[in-house]
Structure 1
Amino acid sequence: MAVEIRNTGRYTYEKTRKDRYGDVKVTSDIRLGAIIRDIAIGIGSIVVLGFSFFTVGEGERGVVTRFGEAQYQVGPGLHFKAPFIDGVRKIEIRERKTVEDLAAATKNQLPVTATVSVNWTASADAVMDIYKKYGSLGQFQERILDPKLREAAKAAIGKFNADELIRDRQAATAEVLAILTDLMAGYPVSVNSPQIENVALPEVYMKSVLEKEQARENAAREQYNLERQRLESLQTVQTAEAQRDALKAQADGNAYKVRTEAEAEADATRLRKAAEAQGIRDVEKALAANPLFIEYTRAQRWNGQLPQTMMGQDTDVLMSVK
């Protein structure tokens, strides 16, 4: 029996059989091996492509490694790497917070426990150095930041008396920040916003502190009342002085008015008298120059009416001319 196989497609073939009697039988079949091979190649290609690209999110930086050795760092976005031989370690550069519970001593040697926290951020440009030296941010925090924070907090608390630590917590936190900033100067991170919370002192001392603070508040209240009374008294005095000055100004104004009016009236009287004297002098000059000036003046003043009475020869007789 002769058998002939002929490919009819990528995944099919025909098998021709000829028996001893000369009859020919043709059958079609599927090339299962080719299908499995192509599927395996496709899956392999997808896997290779999947391992060749990677993304880095906002707030992160990626460190590309080759056989475990850091090569370079990349920023946010889509990136390519060699499949299987390159790896990517992502490191967050968003602000983080670390918290430490510690026991310390105040300036006046009182034991104190407190919770200290600080916010910190890894430098975006130094992510590769952090990976090379510490492996991860968690390792950096555990090996470097946490011990430095405890050291700074204990040093800062030791500069304040217990009552100052309770009353002026802000000054203590500012001291923690200043010391911690100096301690972290050589490391690729920045620190900010420290907090000191849950401060606990011996109960006996806390009671005395509360009593002292109460006395301080009472003294401040009394001082405020005294200052308020002083200001009220000063206001009363100033009001009285203002009223006095106003009355004085009014009296001065009235006196000035009276004086001005008197001076004006005196000036008017003086001018009027001067005018009358000048008039008299002018009349005298006119009479001296012309004796008929009196008749002229009478003529100017005559209203055109004749006298109604006249004197007779006897001075005791008055005659009517009507």
Structure 2
Amino acid sequence: MEKLPKVAFPFIIVAVILIIVLSKSAVTINSGEAGVLFKTFGEGVVIDEPALGEGFHIVAPWNKVFVYEVRQQEITEKMNVLSSNGLDIKLEASVWFQPDFKNIGKLHQEKSEMYKERVLLPAIRSAARSVVGRYTPEQLYSSKRDAIQQEIFEETKKIVEDQYIQLNEVLVRDVTLPATIKDAIERKLKQEQESLEYEFRLITADKEAQKQIIEAQGKADANRILSASLNNMILQDKGIEATIKLAESPNSKVIVIGSGDSGMPIILGNQ
């Protein structure tokens, strides 16, 4: 086997060094990520320049790049909080958030990659305890869920808005009350519902009775007016008209004998 000439060894060493340097210098930022540059022999964390965006970058091999996910993320927290009357409530909430891209260098410098544990989670716990403490278990269980969710979001946002974190949404996923309290609330709600249904039936029945009274009164008034407008001459005239119509009918056979007390013909039979 032929040996390599001695002059080739320096080139090989240089090539190896270049490969090592390039491997240390090449940084790829993936989709949805950003890089924070740390200059070892400079000012440290670079905060006065934009973060490294997606793609391939070359940095000095003695510097470091800390990669952050800048897409919207979700973190779920389960916690115990107290209601306004001191009852222990279990609350589960999800937080939608992302780092502030423009200030990601400051976020790294002041909070580090542990910003979720050091800032976001304590903020959501504090806000949840503050908000839930204003409400009774009945309100937490039924009508105030949306209001509580919005208030927790607003209180958490106040805490993190100057911490280089963009808060997008807070979702209250579950509120768990003590079993005895939950059963008592459900019984109370059921009784209230039954009471409302009973009141509705009473109101409906009362309206129906009033309607019948009005209809009966209307019929009575109509009959009284009709009776007052009738006299013997009108009745006799109506009788004559009816008799003529019967006599003119081709399907009738009418026999009239004498007359009645009123002077009207008496109809004995027809076919």
Under a length normalisation based on structure 1, what TM-score does the superposition of the two structures give? 0.57
Which letter does structure 1 place at the counterpart of 2:128? A
In the alignment, which residue of structure 1 is the partner of 2:11?
38
User: Could you list the per-position Cα deviations for residues 164-188 of structure 1 after superposition, in whole angstroms to 9, with x for gaps in the alignment?
Assistant: 1010211211111121122223221
In the alignment, which residue of structure 1 is the partner of 2:68?
91
Alignment of 1:107-186 (within 5 A): 107-136=84-113, 139-168=114-143, 169-186=145-162
Structure 1 residues 224 and 38: alpha-carbon distance in aligned structure 2, compared to 1, 3 A threshold: farther
* 2:31 counterpart SS class: coil
Contact kept? 2:96, 2:167, Cα under 8 Å: yes
CA distance in 2 between partners of 1:182 and 1:228 (Å):
51
In the alignment, which residue of structure 2 is the partner of 1:209?
185
* 1:186 counterpart SS class: coil
In the alignment, which residue of structure 1 is the partner of 2:265?
none
Structure 1 residues 223 and 117: alpha-carbon distance in aligned structure 2, compared to 1, 3 A threshold: farther
* 2:6 counterpart SS class: helix
Shift of 1:89: 0.8
Shift of 1:153: 0.2
Point out the structure with max Rg over C-alpha. Answer: 1
What's the RMSD between the two structures over aligned residues?
Answer: 2.9
Shift of 1:113: 1.9
Shift of 1:226: 6.4
Structure 1 residues 109 and 80: alpha-carbon distance in aligned structure 2, compared to 1, 3 A threshold: same
Structure 1: 5+ residue stretches without partners: 1-28, 241-322
CA distance in 1 between partners of 2:111 and 2:65 (Å):
16
CA distance in 2 between partners of 1:88 and 1:197 (Å):
37
* 2:57 counterpart SS class: strand
Alignment of 1:283-298 (within 5 A): none
Structure 1 residues 220 and 187: alpha-carbon distance in aligned structure 2, compared to 1, 3 A threshold: farther
Shift of 1:224: 5.7
* 1:180 counterpart SS class: helix
In the alignment, which residue of structure 2 is the partner of 1:77?
55
Normalized per residue, which structure has more strand? Answer: 1
Contact kept? 2:107, 2:163, Cα under 8 Å: no
Between the two proteins, what is the percent identity of the paired residues?
Answer: 20
Under a length normalisation based on structure 2, what TM-score does the superposition of the two structures give? 0.66
CA distance in 2 between partners of 1:224 and 1:86 (Å):
76
Which letter does structure 1 place at the counterpart of 2:179? E
Which letter does structure 1 place at the counterpart of 2:83? T
Q: How many residues align?
A: 207
Which letter does structure 2 place at the counterpart of 1:39? I
Which letter does structure 1 place at the counterpart of 2:133? G
CA distance in 2 between partners of 1:34 and 1:229 (Å):
112
The equivalent position to 1:63 in structure 2, one of 29, 36, 39, is 36
